[in-house]
């Protein structure tokens, strides 16, 4: 699961309205570099929730493989600054690309911030199916 | 045919314009033009606006059968600005990046058109007519047009070797006859020598004949008399290779080579076409809500898209083993892994936050119950039992039958909500012959149908690929209203694809030999079961 995908996932177990964003408790993360396209990342920015991205990044850095975290995961600023033409500095775009696309949570759990309901992640695939009594 | 009629046909293919003749493969007939239009639109080219389609010359007033040819005519200055008309290097390599990269900076026409799965070749048209002689005559006038003159001049400069290939669609001519045909075009006086292998330029002389619905030429000889051709074309091959569909091009993605397959894996050719219809390109955000074994998603990946797939069936997502799953297919083609999630498309709005539209393309083959029944969350049991805490987190939640009418309704609604404006939904819907495209397809106020293409599978059954475009912003407060107006003809339409399994079975039962076949299959299943039992007994 990439952090970009996590960005729009939520929990809506019966009774909760505040199932976003999901907490990430990663037990195994992997890094896989992918081709960088500045234009694509720039176009993607309005579609994501940056606060959630920072939140997710913090979670990953804290648990999961500490070594991996330190060597590869970049730091992101509190907010994204655009220049006069609404464009973001390329170095920052590269970091954003790495954070959104190249970090994969392979094993772990997603936790609903409200109900505490846990959704497991195995082989990188989160299992979000609700049980009959949660619908 | 009188000379006057000949001239009428000629005058429409003007040598003041840059003309290209496209030859299609004779399959997926209904997909050919939509695929071509879609691929052209990736380069911001629209037939009618940036180029025109010229009627094919014809020696018969009305041809009933399909003709796998199309002539596009460009204003010369437009063509010169838009394309690299000089460079015609070999574009048909097995390099996979060619499938994804859109070269916006003066691509060659071949590199634009070769993205179409269904195009066999394209030639720069130098002469065309309803007969051999009229084609030669038309070719003689090439340099009298401003575009033709420049084309010829350029060719003269670049041509160090050349050859003329004769394409007669099944009719046989002996060597002498073929050479006679070639000599008719000797007036061009091309410099350089004739070279059979890898010449700088290959010219194609096409003798078109009428084909039957299967693509076989209609009988050409009657009483030892050879029927005249339907049309004759002469031109320079673009892309450096006569047949773009040969050379194992499609073979790389063939199902046979993939490590993970399931009973409903989409054949490679159809996936390639669907992703063209969806306008998938580098950086497209692609989504398949019924991803299964990922065969369609794989093609999105091949075209450079960022892929997300969901499915309610955890077994198919995880695959058979570490070496045989959706991810291993992507790895096999050296693509970055897709994001897969086990979720329920009927509850998309509950699994995913939808405040902003994010997908560029949604392309999928929804489950119709023919080979893979659809499921959704929930249980068919009356009393809902709570799952004990200690088993909760890895419990595979029960699912219940998901009626096809809802599958489609939810698909359209999710698409309308999550596609960006102008984004496309491409899906497959099985249909029997009695399907009314106007009234039986599902609708959504925010989506407009761009194309519907039919692929016949058996006499009674075929499938349609439907392409829809998002044209209106989604209003969440209208969700119920959107969902209730999905089917114009009400539940009957949904029934038409929903009950296909039963109807197929009914139709099959009426066929001769059904009883025998059924008994045979039952016996084979029994044998397989016994084999498995023996295997298991061994391992104990």
On whether any CB of chain A is under 8 Å from the CB of B252, the answer is no
Alpha-carbon distance A53 to B352, whole Å? 15
Alpha-carbon distance B282 to B336, whole Å? 13
Encoding tokens for residue B95? 């390099």
CB contact under 8 A, A101 and B306: yes
Separation in Å, CA A111 to CA A9, A114, A116, B392, B470 = 11, 9, 6, 13, 34
Report whether B154 contacts B265 (CB < 8 A): no
Q: Which of B349, B350, B396 is the mutation pick for testing A, counting most A CBs within 10 A?
A: B350
Separation in Å, CA A52 to CA A2, A21, B157 = 13, 6, 61
CB contact under 8 A, A8 and B397: no
Q: Which residues, other chains included, contact B309 with Cβ-Cβ below 8 Å and sequence gap of 6+?
A: B287, B288, B289, B291, B294, B297, B326, B338, B339, B340, B341
Radius of gyration of chain B (CA): 27
- Identify all chain A residues contacting B308, using CB atoms and an 8 Å cutoff: 5
- Identify all chain A residues contacting B356, using CB atoms and an 8 Å cutoff: 46-47
Separation in Å, CA B12 to CA B15, B45, B56, B130, B300 = 9, 21, 9, 13, 39
On whether any CB of chain A is under 8 Å from the CB of B317, the answer is yes
Nearest-CB residue to A5 (from B336, B339, B399): B339
Which secondary-structure segment (H or E) carries B72? strand B69-75
Number of H helices, E strands in chain B: 20, 19
CA distance A128 to chain B (A): 5
- Residues making up chain B, counted from first to last: 540
Render B163-228 in DSSP notation, one character per residue.
Answer: EEEEE-TT----HHHHHHHHHTTGGG--SSEE-SSS-SEEEEEEEE--B-TTSPBPP-EETTEEPP
Q: Measure the CA dihedral A46/B337/B421/B35, to 10°.
A: 150
Nearest Cα residue in chain A from B338: A1
Alpha-carbon distance B407 to B88, whole Å? 47
- pTM, two decimals, is 0.85
What is the 3-class SS of chain A, one letter each residue?
CEHHHHCCECCCCCCCCCCCCCEEEEEEEEECCCCCCHHHHHHHHHHCCHHHHHHHHHHHHHCCCHHHHHHHCCCCCCCCCECCCCCECHHHHHHHHHHHHHEEEEEEEEECCCCCCEEEEECCEEECCCCHHHC
On whether any CB of chain A is under 8 Å from the CB of B387, the answer is yes
Give me the tens of pLDDT residue by residue for chain B, a chain 540 residues long: 344 443 444 447 999 999 999 999 988 999 999 999 999 999 999 999 999 999 999 999 888 899 999 999 999 999 999 998 876 655 554 445 555 566 667 888 988 898 898 999 999 999 999 999 999 999 999 999 999 999 998 888 876 889 999 998 878 888 899 999 999 999 998 888 888 888 888 999 999 999 988 888 887 666 566 788 999 999 999 988 888 886 545 555 555 556 665 555 557 788 999 999 999 988 899 999 999 888 899 999 988 889 999 998 888 888 877 777 888 888 888 888 999 999 888 888 888 887 789 999 999 998 876 445 567 776 655 555 555 555 544 555 566 677 778 888 999 999 999 999 999 999 998 877 667 878 888 999 999 999 999 888 777 778 899 999 999 999 999 999 998 888 887 766 776 766 666 666 666 677 667 677 778 888 888 888 888 888 888 776
Strand residues in B238-365 grouped as ranges (E): 285-288, 306-311, 339-342, 359-364
Which secondary-structure segment (H or E) carries B132? helix B132-140
- Residues making up chain A, counted from first to last: 135
CA distance A77 to chain B (A): 23
Which residues numbered 392-431 in B keep a CB inside 8 Å of some CB on A? Answer: 392-399
Report whether B10 contacts B134 (CB < 8 A): yes
On whether any CB of chain A is under 8 Å from the CB of B314, the answer is yes
The two most distant CA atoms of chain B are separated, in Å, by: 88
Nearest-CB residue to B343 (from A118, A124, A129): A129
DSSP state of B345: G
Nearest Cα residue in chain A from B390: A118
């Amino acid at each position: 699961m990439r952090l970009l995908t996590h960005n729009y996932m939520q929990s809506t177990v019966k009774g909760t309205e505040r199932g976003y964003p999901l907490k990430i408790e990663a037990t195994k993360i992997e890094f896989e570099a992918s081709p960088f396209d500045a234009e694509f990342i720039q176009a993607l920015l309005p579609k994501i929730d940056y606060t959630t991205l920072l939140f997710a990044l913090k979670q990953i850095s804290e648990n999961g493989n500490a070594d991996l975290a330190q060597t590869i995961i970049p730091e992101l600023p509190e907010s994204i600054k655009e220049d006069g033409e609404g464009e973001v500095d390329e170095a920052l775009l590269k970091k954003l690309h790495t954070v959104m696309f190249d970090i994969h949570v392979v094993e772990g759990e997603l936790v609903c911030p409200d109900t505490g309901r846990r959704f497991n992640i195995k082989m990188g695939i989160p299992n979000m199916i609700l049980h009959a009594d949660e619908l | 045919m009188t000379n006057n009629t000949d001239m009428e046909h000629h005058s429409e293919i003007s040598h003041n314009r840059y003309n290209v003749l496209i030859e299609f493969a004779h399959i997926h007939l209904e997909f050919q033009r939509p695929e071509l239009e879609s691929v052209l639109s990736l380069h911001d080219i629209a037939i009618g606006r940036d180029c025109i389609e010229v009627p094919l010359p014809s020696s018969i007033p009305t041809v009933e059968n399909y003709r796998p040819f199309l002539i596009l005519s460009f204003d010369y200055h437009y063509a010169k600005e838009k394309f690299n008309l000089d460079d015609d290097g070999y574009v048909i390599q097995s390099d996979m990046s060619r499938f994804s990269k859109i070269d916006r900076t003066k691509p060659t026409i071949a590199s634009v058109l070769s993205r179409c799965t269904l195009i066999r070749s394209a030639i720069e048209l130098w002469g065309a007519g309803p007969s051999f002689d009229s084609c030669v005559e038309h070719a003689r006038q090439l340099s009298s047009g401003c575009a033709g003159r420049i084309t010829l001049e350029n060719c003269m400069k670049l041509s160090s070797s050349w050859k003329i290939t004769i394409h007669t669609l099944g009719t046989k001519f002996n060597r002498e006859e073929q050479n006679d045909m070639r000599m008719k075009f000797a007036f061009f006086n091309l410099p350089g020598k004739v070279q059979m292998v890898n010449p700088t330029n290959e010219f194609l002389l096409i003798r078109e004949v009428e084909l039957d619905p299967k693509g076989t030429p209609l009988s050409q000889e009657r009483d030892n008399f050879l029927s005249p051709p339907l049309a004759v074309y002469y031109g320079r091959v673009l892309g450096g290779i006569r047949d773009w569909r040969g050379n194992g091009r499609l073979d790389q993605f063939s199902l046979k080579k993939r490590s993970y397959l399931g009973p409903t894996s989409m054949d490679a050719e159809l996936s390639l076409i669907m992703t063209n219809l969806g306008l998938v390109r580098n950086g497209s955000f692609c989504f398949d809500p019924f991803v299964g074994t990922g065969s369609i998603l794989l093609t999105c990946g091949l075209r450079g898209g960022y892929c997300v797939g969901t499915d309610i069936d955890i077994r198919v997502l995880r695959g058979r083993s570490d070496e045989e799953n959706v991810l291993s297919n992507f790895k096999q083609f050296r693509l970055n892994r897709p994001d897969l999630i086990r979720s329920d498309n009927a509850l998309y709005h509950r699994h995913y936050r939808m405040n902003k539209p994010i997908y560029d393309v949604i392309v999928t083959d929804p489950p119709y119950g023919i080979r893979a029944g659809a499921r959704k969350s929930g249980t068919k049991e009356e009393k809902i039992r709570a799952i004990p805490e200690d088993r909760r987190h890895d419990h595979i939640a029960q699912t219940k039958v998901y009626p096809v009418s809802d599958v489609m309704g939810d698909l359209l609604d999710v698409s309308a909500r999550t596609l960006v404006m102008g984004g496309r939904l491409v899906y497959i819907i099985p249909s029997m012959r009695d399907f009314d495209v106007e009234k039986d397809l599902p609708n959504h106020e925010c989506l407009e149908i761009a194309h519907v293409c039919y692929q016949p599978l058996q006499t009674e059954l075929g499938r349609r690929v439907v392409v829809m475009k998002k044209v209106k912003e989604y209003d969440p407060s209208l969700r119920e209203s959107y969902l209730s107006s999905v089917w114009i003809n009400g539940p009957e339409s949904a029934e038409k694809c929903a009950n296909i399994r039963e109807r197929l079975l009914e139709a099959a039962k009426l066929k001769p030999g059904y009883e025998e076949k059924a008994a045979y299959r039952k016996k084979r299943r029994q044998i397989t079961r016994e084999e498995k039992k023996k295997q298991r007994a061994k391992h104990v």
